[in-house]
Amino acid sequence: MPSRSDAGPRSRRRTADGDPLSEFIEPRLGIDVRALAVFRIALGMVLLADLLTLRLPGLVTFYSDSGVFPQSTLAETYPAFEAWSLHALSGAPWFQGLLFAVAGVFASLLLVGYRTRLAVTGSLVLFASLLARNPLLVNGGDTILLTFLVLGLVLPLGTRWSLDARRGSRRPERSGSTDTRTVSFATATILVHFGCIYGTNAVRKFQSDPWTSGVAVRQIFHLEQYLTPLGSALSASAALLTAVNWGWTALLSGSVLLLVLTGRARIALVAGFVTAHLGMAATMRLGVFPFVMIAGLLLFLPSSCWDRLERFLAATELGQRAGAGLPIGDGGGPDGDSSASHRRSSPSEGVTVRRCVRAGGTVLVACFLVSSVLWQVAALGVGIPLVDSLDQDGEDDGEIGSWSFFAPNPPDSYSWYTVEATLESGETIGVFPRGHDGVRLDRPPDGTTAYPSTLWMRYGTDVRYADDTYYEPAAEFSCAHFDRRVDAVTIAHVGQPVGPDGPAGEPERQERITYAC
């Protein structure tokens, strides 16, 4: 039985011979089911990595009422998010930990492909809820990951290399298909959506003087808060960074070819983008963003890549145990969830349900595609009232929820905070950053450590122009974490202007709040 996508026509191994339109569309807008399997595995790994390495260490600080953004602040600043976020039902750390654990279970199920549709649904709901609980921590990679989970609901993610596929293959009536590609409205949508992210970014870069003059990457690599130690070491390599500027701009300019090229040419283009994102991951603190983009790029790889991988796996003990050579079947259901085979219904009832599922999936994908296009058209400066109303922050620093990524212009300064405590004796001491003496405004010796973590960096970047509504919980949090009794704390934001050649001028200090403990 051929596998299906929930949101469109049946999958096709190779559409009717002699149909030029089908022969043109299938290799460009179709996706190999093994690519979908690796995409599913990558999503599960990214979700787990994001949860365990990024969110879990900041559970109390950023997601509980004991931290810098309690539920009361969320309700005051983002009432709609507070109303529907599951994480906002309680500010207790144990409750947040429980939801984190459940999210980890769903991500693990997605990774191994067990009850795939349920795993995607659970991961989508809990990840969206987590982002809504603290919008200050959301960046473009998070929102792209969210869109992948939405589209994952209508893609056959469990038809290969999954527990669902293994269980389905043991039922003779469900195995025997050798189809390796699926083409549908859903596959076309996710590929076009992904290509448009790059394409829109390319257009915005051509609206920028720094990018078109070749100095943008040099300036970005002086924004020390974003850099890893390797990135900081490369910041003095002007010639290399200029070459990266032009190389990345050229790649983005050719991104439309992801939807046009096939075969080895497409493989080469995908490899170029993957290399660029691995470079970003090594040099910049961007969270899971580079790996989210790499997961999306896997969908563009042609069947020849997966044929080679499958032959390699079939020759290894690991591949034999994993059943890499199993036929795809349909996993018992349109998304590869073999649990569907346990449900018995009359033929007419089954046909009706399948039609309703496909119709609902098509509507979902159509709405998604329209929303994605409107969002990205608005990013190019075209006024769209609905999208404009959702833009709560006109600042673009590359680390907010938009997909602009340092475009059209990279930030012209980086920043850090000083926290000064006034003791009962009247003495004032500096407690953050470490070694700060409460008076000097010198840059931290190592700007890459100005923030304790990536979440702290996102939070500090997002609230730098905020009012006391945001700073009061942060000040109260600071009061509670001193090892000595203090009367008051003062939080100040310090900005260091930068240009392509490094720091430009002196740091600029702005006191944000003085709070009585």
Instruction: Give pLDDT tens digits for 391-429.
Output: 444 344 444 456 778 888 899 998 889 888 888 877 888
pLDDT per residue as tens digits for the range 425-448: 778 887 665 444 443 445 665 667
Contacts of 306 (CB under 8 A, 6+ apart): 32, 34, 35, 180
Averaged pLDDT, 79-102: 97
Residue type, 282: A
pLDDT number for residue 431: 64
Q: Concatenated DSSP letters for 323-339?
A: TTT---TTTTSTTS-GG
Averaged pLDDT, 329-344: 44
What the block records as the tokens of 145 is 């990951």
Query: To 10 degrees, what angle do helices 238-253 and 263-283 make?
Result: 140
Q: Please enumerate, as own/partner, the contacts of 243-252 that have beta carbons within 8 Å and a separation of 24 or more.
A: 244/217, 244/279, 245/211, 245/214, 245/215, 245/216, 245/217, 245/218, 246/214, 247/276, 248/217, 248/276, 249/202, 249/205, 249/211, 249/212, 251/276, 252/198, 252/199, 252/201, 252/202, 252/205
pLDDT number for residue 122: 98
Residue 357 has pLDDT above 80, yes or no: no
Contacts of 334 (CB under 8 A, 6+ apart): 3, 4, 5, 6, 156, 340, 354, 357, 358
pLDDT number for residue 426: 78
Residue type, 125: V
Confidence of residue 324 (pLDDT cuts 50, 70, 90): very low
For a pLDDT cut of 70, what percent of the chain falls above it?
77
Confidence of residue 505 (pLDDT cuts 50, 70, 90): confident
Contacts of 215 (CB under 8 A, 6+ apart): 242, 245, 500
Phi, psi values for residue 290, rounded to 5°:
-60, -35
Measured CA to CA, the distance from residue 292 to residue 148 in angstroms comes to: 9
What the block records as the tokens of 264 is 């080895």
Measured CA to CA, the distance from residue 199 to residue 482 in angstroms comes to: 49
Residue 134 has pLDDT above 70, yes or no: yes
Give the domain ranges of the chain. 32-386, 413-516
Measured CA to CA, the distance from residue 221 to residue 234 in angstroms comes to: 8
pLDDT per residue as tens digits for the range 175-195: 334 478 999 999 999 999 999
What the block records as the tokens of 381 is 């400066």
pLDDT per residue as tens digits for the range 457-476: 999 999 988 989 999 999 99
pLDDT number for residue 439: 38
Q: Could you tell me which of 149, 166, 131 has the C-alpha nearest to residue 54?
A: 131
Give the end-to-end CA distance of the chain in Å, rounded to a whole number: 68
Average pLDDT over all residues of the chain: 83
Q: 190 burial class (0-12, 13-18, 19+ CB within 10 angstroms)?
A: buried
Measured CA to CA, the distance from residue 161 to residue 323 in angstroms comes to: 7
Q: 256 burial class (0-12, 13-18, 19+ CB within 10 angstroms)?
A: middle
Confidence of residue 373 (pLDDT cuts 50, 70, 90): low
Q: Could you tell me which of 145, 197, 198, 148 has the C-alpha nearest to residue 375?
A: 197
508-516/502-503 β-pairing: unpaired
- Give alpha helix (H) positions in 181-325: 185-205, 209-212, 216-220, 229-234, 238-253, 263-283, 289-297, 303-314, 317-322
Confidence of residue 362 (pLDDT cuts 50, 70, 90): confident
Q: Could you tell me which of 351, 486, 339 has the C-alpha nearest to residue 423?
A: 486
| DSSP assignment letter at 502 | E
What the block records as the tokens of 40 is 């599913």
Burial 466-485 (b: 16+ CB within 10 A, else e): beeebbbbbbbbbbeeeeee
